[in-house]
Amino acid sequence: MYLLAFIAGILIVNIASSYFFERFDFTTEKRYTLSQNTKNILSQLKEPLQVTVYLEGDFPAGFKRLRNATRDILADYRAYSQKNIRFDFVNPSSGDKESQERTYLGLVEKGLQPTNLTVDTEDGRTQKIIFPAALITYQGKQMAVNLFHSKIGASPEDVLNNSIQNLEYAFTSAIKKTISGGRPRIGFTEGNGELTDLQLSDAISSLQYGYEAGRVNLNEITFEGLDKLKLIIIPKPDKEFTEAEKYKIDYFLMRGGSILWTIDNVHAELDSLRNAGSQLAFAKKLNLDDMLFKYGARINYDLIADMSCAQIPLNVGNVGGQAQIQLVPWLFYPIFVPVSKHPLVKNLDGIRSEFANTIDTIAVDGVKKQVILSTSPFNRLLRVPSMISLQMVEQEPNPEDFKSAPKPVAVLLEGSFPSVFVNRPVPEGIIGRQSLPAKSRPAKMIVVADGDILKNQVSSQDGSPFPLGFDRYTQQQFGNKNFLLNIADYLTDDSGIIELRNKEIKIRLLDKARIRDEKLTWQLINILAPLFLIIGFAVVYYYYRKRRFGTIVS
């Protein structure tokens, strides 16, 4: 009777599970729970979506953990997508050397980033190229998803944990872009002395995998052209903006468009210093102060000298007719290490800048402001106009002289912005448009007081661009590219997907010091405790059987 009831219960549970789907996550941080945003996007899949993951092969334990976490989350995606998600794990290093090189080249062309991995073997250490990345294919469109996110100074455990934390954000963001009707359009302005195509080469190419990115001239673009853009980026202009150009920017913002301003308000360049040895740092005339002030930000006319800075090569003398080049810290190339918990900068590497300024925020009704980047606590400000010289590197900075509160250098502004041209006549050169509304639709903008964060370095040998954020002198990769990609995601997406970057998975590692001190104790416990438990159980069981079944002799 009990057996029949048990079998009937199992049958009922199986039949019910085919009609109802539910999962239970008992972890504290809900690491195995997909967000509602992700579930909504997965429900939009009308056809099978293929995910090819290139994390297969002989890896160290850390990368196996990343591979397993990727497999787990894709299994959840498949369950919530009504099995419209299909995934495979592929080893790109299989085959002979020639086929490997062809595979590697093809993956790089599709936007997948390789990682050089050091592997310990019986013969010593060897270098191995791996692709901790995936490729999404849907309706003939493909999207690269990079799964490994390095961080300068972080331990290997922290780096892998950070990568696992970002898996849902990486996959959900890529799937949304893949299944959306079209890639959002991003325009980098030109015509006002902005960075050149070569200097923006990697910034534009990095965005091409998820967006349509190119150059726009504010003098030539029509209002219909502006309506097609989702984000305008103004990368380090050097020439004054006309009122007609500002009107077009204001028009774009009033219609809910997003803007990224990366602006230097002070003219100072290292190339000029190398040629002349010294230079007068002076204020630029961009005619943008009134506009930014109206929106809630003011870029100051100063230069930041920060002890957290990049290094530059400098000729420190000649020996035997040979120039002696040495890397020296350059205080005017600050590295901004994000401390904000905002998803725009969370877990990012330090962001390299050149001759950056500070920002003040202005109270504006209906506009919310948040500082996302700031200097270190060891900084000084140089007011302009002022002379700067390469000889400054000879002076050892005194930390006591640089102690100062961190200064904002990048702010996020969100809300309904006031129009700069309210109650003002339409500027000359604007035809066929009525006056703009007093307030914008809900919009977002980011103001960065440095134009060089989007500039990639260029090889002096063949003129080819280096990756954005890569310092060719120190061979370090900074967080500039990921910062730009996060900004693009945040400013072009209204669904709040970037909030997935707030997901945290706690690392519960063993205490290595305690392991070392108590190693013998725990070894004895693990070996002897089970034996004593078995012996104790046997003794109790023996006396129990003896008492129950023993014969009583009268």
Chain length of the chain: 554
User: What pLDDT is stored for residue 231 in this prediction?
Assistant: 96
DSSP secondary structure letters along 330-378: EEEEEEE-----STTTTTPPPEE-SS---EEE---TTEEEEEEEE--SB
Res 328 pLDDT > 80? yes
CATH architecture of 183-502: 3-Layer(aba) Sandwich (3.40)
Q: Rounded mean pLDDT of 146-175?
A: 79
Res 22 pLDDT > 90? no
Q: 325: which 2 tokens? A: 């080049």
Could you tell me the CA-to-CA distances from 472 to 129, 279, 362, 467 in Å, in that order?
21, 24, 38, 9
pLDDT single digits (tens) 97-106: 888 888 888 8
pLDDT single digits (tens) 453-471: 999 999 988 889 999 999 9
> Rounded CA gap, 100 and 95, in Å?
6
Q: Domain 13-178 classified CATH 1.10.8?
A: no
Domain with CATH 3.40.50 in the chain: 183-502
User: What pLDDT is stored for residue 270 in this prediction?
Assistant: 87
User: What pLDDT is stored for residue 434 in this prediction?
Assistant: 64
Band (pLDDT 50/70/90 cuts) for residue 346 is confident
Res 526 pLDDT > 90? no
User: What pLDDT is stored for residue 469 in this prediction?
Assistant: 92
pLDDT single digits (tens) 469-511: 999 989 898 999 989 989 998 998 866 777 777 666 665 666 6
Res 300 pLDDT > 80? yes
Res 310 pLDDT > 80? yes
> Rounded CA gap, 320 and 269, in Å?
31
pLDDT single digits (tens) 44-59: 888 899 999 998 877 7
User: What pLDDT is stored for residue 260 in this prediction?
Assistant: 98
The average confidence (pLDDT) of the chain is 86
Res 315 pLDDT > 60? yes
Domain with CATH 3.40.30 in the chain: 13-178
